Amino acid sequence: MPATVGGKALIDLRNISKHYGEGQTRVDALADVTASIYPGEVVGLLGPSGSGKTTLLNVIGCVIEPSGGWMMLDGEIVYDARWLRADLRRLRLEKIGCFRRPISSPSSTARRTSRR
């Protein structure tokens, strides 16, 4: 564990599952994913196509709703068998933010930022 890593988990997942569809067309994309990611940690997600990487990132990003489990982001339980926040856009703004923020600056134009 790197020296910068420590303290409370920034992302805490317990038994997160996600299936798409029902019945014969049901796909279990995530089954019982339990993981903790700490501040300062750099994590790679490896797996073959279709193994659930995008689904997991979308769940962590509060973009898609899990089918079950528990998730804490930055000290707040945001999902416990259901979303615990009504306003998911605000939740994303507060907990996930904008990936571009570190590379944009007040002097950047939208065109310049989108080229990066």
Ligand X SMILES: Nc1ncnc2c1ncn2[C@@H]1O[C@H](COP(=O)(O)OP(=O)(O)O)[C@@H](O)[C@H]1O
| Whole-number Å distance between alpha carbons of 55 and 52 | 5
Tell whether residue 66 is a contact of ligand X (CB under 6 A). no
Tell whether residue 20 is a contact of ligand X (CB under 6 A). yes
Shortest spacing between CB 77 and ligand X, in angstroms: 24
Q: 35: part of which helix (H) or strand (E)?
A: strand 27-37
Shortest spacing between CB 54 and Mg ion, in angstroms: 3
Q: Which of 52, 59, 66, 78 binds ligand X (CB under 6 A)?
A: 52
Strand partners, 76: 73
- How many C-beta atoms lie closer than 10 Å to residue 86's C-beta? 7
Tell whether residue 84 is a contact of ligand X (CB under 6 A). no
